[in-house]
Amino acid sequence: MSHPTLAIGGTVFLPRSALRDLVTVLRKRGFTVIGPTQVEGVVALRPLTSGQELPRGVRDEQGPGHYRLVPGEPDLSFEYVVGPDSPKRKFFPPVLNLFQFHVDRESFVLDAGPPQVPKLAFLGVRPCELAAIKVQDHVFGADDPRTVRCESETYYCESRRESFLVAVNCTRPGGTCFCASMETGPAAKDGFDLALTELRQGFITAVGSVRGLEICHDLPVREPSGAELELAELKLHIAHEHMGCTLDTQGLKDLLDQSLDHPQWADVAKRCLSCGNCTMVCPTCFCSTVSDSTELAGPKVMRTRRWESCFTHQFSATTAGPVRNTIRGRYRHWLRHKLGTWWDQFGMSGCVGCGRCITWCPVGIDLTAEAAQIRAHSQNSVPPVEEAPV
């Protein structure tokens, strides 16, 4: 089976019925396949044993602090966008036991070493998630193993190296998506092994890597027609114009740097619960805390790493107490890290426009709206003091 288009950088057509085969082929190659599954009213990422488990005919309705699944087109498999989970859950697990040891007289004895690294294939990775993976690859040092920083993560790097990514482009953006503003979607540009665009009969499939090409050889792919290619392109173009949110990124970092005393921070602090949901669901947030726990009387000690959030007290605790002691300070730190200071730290944006923090905020705080408020009432547009109403 060889087509002129079956090459890296080429595009083939995968019939709808072969979506199942894709899961089977990946599993045969030793991958644990992780994909979208409908659980308790949300689309979550779970291990798939067959393509049958993928949701079908469901849409998500997303808004600030709001998420519901509703019926969609019965034959379509990817009419929803991202749920609360992201591949971060697997590459950088929320709770990971790093090792266990015990004290034997004067020495430490290792009982359980570093955790086994899984071999994972993700099905249905959205373009913003690919962008988030790229961000975390950089943060954790997977993109350049020679550079070791304090954020470098062995487990992350190794599980990423093993992983296989099947992206799905977004033909129906969600109510809180703004990947178009962040230039990360709705079509994947790179960073995938395969990237699918859903049409009724099947999927226009871009081949992104040697491994992606190998998988295609095991699937009943054919050459796409000109009309199919055009339709896929049109769908993605329309999606680009129908984002739920927008963010004006022009000069944003400088604007935030100059707005440390902006009244909007106090305004958002009245609403923000400092609950940490936004950082937990954010696919780029990388903060964690490491703690040792001892057994009640035995000599065993377990070292565990857990996701941490800059919205907790403990996060900025020093011997003199927490450095960011107010919700105002914590929200400001968070927003500035995502949209501003990440550039200083890593040379890129810490936000990819996935919209999760907006949807999963219990009180619907929308970072694009907060940023817009800060821009609208920035120092330049605020009237000089003497003219301001008393």
Binding site for ligand SF4 (CB under 6 A): 272-279, 281-287, 309-311, 334, 337-338, 351-357, 361-363, 365, 367
Q: Does 40 bind another protein (CB under 8 A)?
A: yes
Question: Does 109 help bind another protein (rule: CB under 8 A)?
Answer: no
311 near another protein, rule: CB under 8 A: yes
Asked if 148 touches another protein (CB under 8 A), the answer is: no
- Of 157-216, binders to another protein (CB under 8 A) are none
Q: Which is nearer to ligand SF4, 175 or 355 (CB)?
A: 355
Kindly state the smallest distance separating residue 91's Cβ from another protein, in Å: 15
Which of ligand SF4, another protein, none interacts with 313 (beta carbon under 5 to 8 A by kind)? another protein
| Shortest separation between residue 276's beta carbon and another protein, angstroms | 5
Q: What are the residues facing 68 on neighbouring strands?
A: 61
282 touches, from another protein, ligand SF4, none (C-beta below 5 to 8 Å by class): ligand SF4
Pick the closest to residue 22 from 292, 174, 307, 212 (CA basis).
212
Give CA separation, 227 vs 75, 197, 230, 234, 267, in Å. Answer: 20, 14, 5, 10, 51
* Residue 42 interacts with, from another protein, ligand SF4, none (CB under 5-8 Å by kind): another protein
Radius of gyration of the chain (CA): 23
Angle (nearest 5°) at CA 240 between 134 and 184: 10
Q: How far is the CB of 36 from another protein (least distance, A)?
A: 13
Residue 286 or 311: the one with the smaller Cβ distance to another protein is: 311
Task: Please identify which residue in 8, 110, 363, 382 interacts with another protein, judged by CB under 8 A.
Answer: 363
For another protein, which residue of 136, 277, 284, 349 counts as binding (CB under 8 A)?
A: 277
* Binding-site member from 106, 241, 261, 386 for another protein (CB under 8 A): 106
Of 12 and 352, CB closest to ligand SF4: 352
Binding-site partner at residue 292 among another protein, ligand SF4, none, CB < 5 to 8 Å by type = another protein
Alpha-carbon gap, residue 19 to 77, rounded angstroms: 10
Query: Closest CB to another protein among 15 and 329?
Result: 329
Question: For residue 63, how far is the Cα from the chain centroid?
Answer: 17
Residue 272 found at the interface with another protein (CB under 8 A): yes
For 65-85, letters b (16+ CB in 10 Å) and e give bebebeebeeebbbbbbbbbb
- Phi, psi (5° rounding) for residue 388? -70, 140
Interface with another protein (CB under 8 A), residue from 37, 136, 259, 312: 312
Considering the complex, state which of residue 6 and residue 367 has its C-beta at the smaller distance from ligand SF4: 367
Amino acid (one-letter) located at 277? N
Of residues 61 through 90, those in contact with another protein by CB under 8 A are: 65-68, 84-85, 89
List the beta bridge partners of residue 39. 42
Q: CB-based contacts of 290: which residues, under 8 Å, 6+ apart?
A: 98, 303, 304, 305, 306
243 neighbors 178 (Cβ within 8 angstroms): yes
Longest dimension (CA), the chain: 78
Q: Are 275 and 313 in contact (CB under 8 A)?
A: no
**Nearest-angstrom CA–CA distance, 130 and 124:** 10
Residue 157: count of CB within 10 angstroms of its CB:
18
Which partner from the list another protein, ligand SF4, none does 127 bind, CB cut-off 5 to 8 Å by kind? none
The residues of the shown chain that bind another protein, judged by CB under 8 A, are 39-42, 44, 65-68, 84-85, 89, 94-95, 103, 106, 108, 270-277, 280-281, 291-298, 301, 306-307, 309, 311-314, 327, 359-364
